[in-house]
Each structure stands twice: as C-alpha cells, then as structure tokens.
Structure 1
C-alpha cells in the first residue's frame, strides 16, 4: 500500500505539477490580455490561477517531496514548518474563494434586473479580492503560532497541528470550509443557470414582439461570450466539487472513528486512502487551462494568438 502512494507521488504528482504550472501561466497571460481583462470574471480568474500556482508550489510540491521521495525540510525547522503549513492553508482556501466570487459575479451579470447587472464591475472585483484575501490571511494566522513538529510514532516526525484541541479545531474548520465552499458554488451555479434560462425566455418574447433595444448582432455576440465565461466557470466548479468532496468525506470519517481501536492493516489502508484523496484534491488546481481549451472557443483563439506572436 505504501509503495502505491510512493509511486503516485513519484510519477503522477510531478507530471501534475508540470501541467499545472504551464496551465496557470497560460491562463494568467490569456486573462490579462486587453480584450479580456475588462471583464470582471477575468480578474477573478487571474486571482484564481495565481492562487493555484502558489498552491502547487506550497502544498503539492511539499507532498510530492515528503511522500514520494521522503524529503521534508519542514521537520528540521519550526519556522519553515509553520510557514509551510500556513501557506498550504491560505492557498487552499483562496483558490475556491475566488471561484465563489466569480460565481457571484455571474449571478449578477445574468440577472434579469438591470440594477443588479450593474454590480458586475471590475472595481467591485478588485475590492472583493482585496478584502477577501486580507480576511483569509488573518483568519489563518493561528497556524503561524500553534503548528508544531510532532513525533507521531517511532521514526515518524511530521509538521502538523499537535494532537489535542488545536488539531480538532483545524480539522473541523477544514470540513466546514469544504462543505461551505461546495454548497455556495452549487447554490450560485443553480441561480445563474436559472437566470440564463429566464433570459432566454425573455429574449424569445422580445423576438416575437419585434421589440429591440439593441441590434441583434451585438446582443448575440455578448450572449455568446458571456456563455463561454459561464461555461468555463461551471467546469471549474464541477471539477473542484468532484475532486475535493472525497477528501472532505474522509476528514469527516476520520473524526467519527478517531476514538476507535484500529488494526495495523486498517491504519495502513486509511493512510493510503488519505494520500490518494490529498492527491485528487490537488487536481482542480492544475487543470483549469485544459478545461478552458476544451469548452471555450474564445480562450482557444487567444491562446493561438499568444503562440503565433512569439
């Protein structure tokens, strides 16, 4: 079982890191292009991919080295230990947080209410990203104080929250975070899908009555681009939900069974499953570019332009 995890983090994890690094850089370059960065959703995607990039080199890199190659510098320095754990917590929450903000923006832009649509602005995007980043940075500051280098068994030392009240607090906090994030994404996703359906019915009514507030070509063009933004966001949310849910469920299981007496074989199995779920939870941070290429013609066009000009 341990060899399976070793091979997973020795082979698959470095490949995922390379794909994620290239993908995040391409995403940031594309969304920073002049014709895209005027859209608030582009600003959220830039923040999202920046957080993904930082997550890859804080969480996924450290997991790859420690599990795959038995290299863990954090167990030799309390400063490195606390900074590493703090970075993992920060970027694991900022990435889905930016997706939630993007979902709210899509709810605004698809609203049938004109006043609500006007709330989708670049200025609001910068404000929300700034305040949200500051909030989470301060909220996780406890990791810089309480995280410790703990000996969990013979020849088994780990940088982790020490057993006791703080460990329980961080575990429940992560469970609540995952459930809340996935629930918010689901709720906002349902809302903007309903908004799109309502807009379609309104447009059909307008077409029948031959009432126009703008030329047909411009309306269809806006709708087409807007749908592509929504489709990219929907894919990100779906992948995040599918890949993060197993780890959240494992954390719940671990808390329920923490006081049970377990055999060595069961502990080994649980350990293997936890490492697999940690790996799958990292997948959404590395695949955004490739799903964008699949679902968005505009994104593919912009990527081609970038490579054609170099």
Structure 2
C-alpha cells in the first residue's frame, strides 16, 4: 500500500520528469528491496520465540521475556501500527494536493509535456479511498495492540489472557474486513471500475449459458436433434405462409 501511494504521488506530480520515474523497473526493485529488508529484519524471531501450551490443544507463541520482548513489542507497534498510517496519510495528502493543482491549474509549461491520463487519475482516487480505510482500521488495530501489551504476558491471569486473545483475534479480523471494504469502496468511487466489473460479470454469465447450451445439445440423441430441427423448419414455414 505504501509503495502504491508513492507511485500515485509520482504519477500525479506536476513535473513530467517526476512522473516518468514511475516505471516497472522502479516498482520491481522497490518490491524486491522491501521484501529482502523485512526478511532480514525478522530473521531473529526463529531463535528468540518460546512456544507454550497451557492446555491440551492450545498453543501460544511468546517472545523471550525481558528486553527482547519489550523491544519487539515497541518495534511491531511502531513499524506495523503507527508508521504505515502516518506515511500513507502524508502521501495521500501530497497526492490530493497534486490532483487539486492539476484540476485547477492545467499544466502548460515545458516540464509538463506528459499529461496525467484519466486512468491514472481514477487509480489515484481509488488508492486514496483505500488509504483512508487502511488508516482507520490500522489505527484501531494499533490501539488494541497497545492495550494488550499493558501487562507482561507472564504476569497476566487466565482471564486477562482470554480478553487479550479475544482482542487480538478481533484486530486480526479487521485485516480481512479492511480488504473487503476496500473492494466496495472502489466500486462506489470509480465509475470505470463499476463499468468494467459489470462487463466482466455479464461476460461470465454469457459464457456459462453458452457452455450449458453446448453441453445440452451435445448430450441429446440424434433422433431428438432431428425432431428439434424438423419442428423448427415446420414452424418457420408456417410463419412464412401466414405472412
């Protein structure tokens, strides 16, 4: 989402040279670099995580108590909870500013020879909607996570662990709700998205009906096909005679 926000900020820039930096090559290297960075950053979790089973069939994974647990709690809270919404909010504000400037002051100088297409504008608006949804749900999840980390895991009672686990499961459900709501927001915001979705829907329906008819006629006996063709011919002749 953050990389997409950066791309939309580049695309909506008033400077054509800045817009030309939004390329597949840049996207490929950005995704590869970010993936490698986080793989290296979290590799230590394999060695500093304890698995506890308080009851048969119930398994919990905890960080090792002490400084490491506190460090990982604050690191996860900052990297996954507060930093992404903050960056997306800044990039969304920059994108909105660029779109407003392009709408009010059309580019006409030498550095703006490449105009912003309507498709890029639609994608930018759709991404802004997804950013707003992501910021709201991420903020709720961050607040829940901070609340569950108020007491060390070793000092919690069974009731406190049950409540915290319920809240953590609820925050996990927010991740799936966020992905679902993003699809509905795109359907509401973008007219082009609605048009393409309806077109794709009717294409699937027509293809299914066509396959059903083909299977139906291919499974019919030959004499039934002859009777069907003969009945259609007689009906056609009757219509012609009446006319």
Tell me whether the two structures share a fold, i.e. TM-score over 0.5: yes
Q: Deviations over 1:151-170 (max 9, x none)?
A: 3x455531343433333232
In structure 1, the residue matched to 2:104 is 201
Partner of residue 18, structure 2: 116
| Deviation readout 1:60-109 (Å, 9 max, x if unpaired) | xxxxxxxxxxxxxxxxxxxxxxxxxxxxxxxxxxxxxxx11111111111
SS of the aligned residue for 2:132 comes to helix
For residues 170 and 125 of structure 2, the distance between their equivalents in structure 1, rounded to whole angstroms, comes to 28
Q: Does 1:192 align with 2:95?
A: yes
Structure 2 gaps, min length 5:
208-243
Cα distance in 2 for residues equivalent to 1:302 and 1:237: 22
TM-score (norm 2): 0.69
- TM-superposed deviation, 1:265: 5.4
Deviation at 1:184, TM superposition (A): 0.3
**What is the total number of aligned residue pairs between the two structures?**
199
Other structure's SS at 2:97 match: helix
- Per the alignment, in what secondary structure is the counterpart of residue 192 of structure 2? helix
Counterpart for residue 186 of structure 2: 292
Q: In structure 2, what is the equivalent of residue 302 of structure 1? A: 196
Residue 231 of structure 1 pairs with residue 125 of structure 2:
yes
Aligned to 1:138: 40
Q: Report if aligned partners of 1:150, 1:162 keep a CA contact under 8 Å in 2.
A: no
Q: Which residue of 2 aligns with 1:254?
A: 148
1: CA distance between counterparts of 2:11 and 2:23?
9
- 1:194-226, Cα deviation, whole Å (9 max, x unpaired): 1111222212x86xxxxxx98xxx96xx54322
Q: RMSD between aligned alpha carbons?
A: 3.0
- Give the match for residue 52 of structure 2: 150
The answer to whether the 8 Å contact 1:149/1:159 transfers is: yes
Q: Whole-Å Cα distance in 1 between the matches of residues 157 and 82 of structure 2?
A: 30
- Structure 1 residue 254 displacement after superposition: 3.4
The CA deviation at 1:172 is 1.4
Deviation of the 1:261 alpha carbon: 7.2
CA contact (8 A) 1:250 1:274 kept: yes
**Which residue in 2 is equivalent to 1:172?**
74
1:179·1:248 contact (CA, 8 Å) conserved in 2? yes
Contact 1:292 1:299 (C-alpha < 8 Å) held by counterparts: yes
Q: Distance in 1 between matches of 2:171 and 2:25?
A: 37
Change (3 A) 1:167 1:228: same
CA distance in 2 between counterparts of 1:259 and 1:101 reads 35
For 2:177 and 2:126, locate their aligned partners in 1 and report how far apart those are by CA, in whole Å. Answer: 16
Pick the structure with greater CA Rg. 2
C-alpha displacement at 1:185, in angstroms?
Answer: 0.2
Change (3 A) 1:286 1:249: same
Question: 1 CA distance for matches of 2:175 and 2:139?
Answer: 8
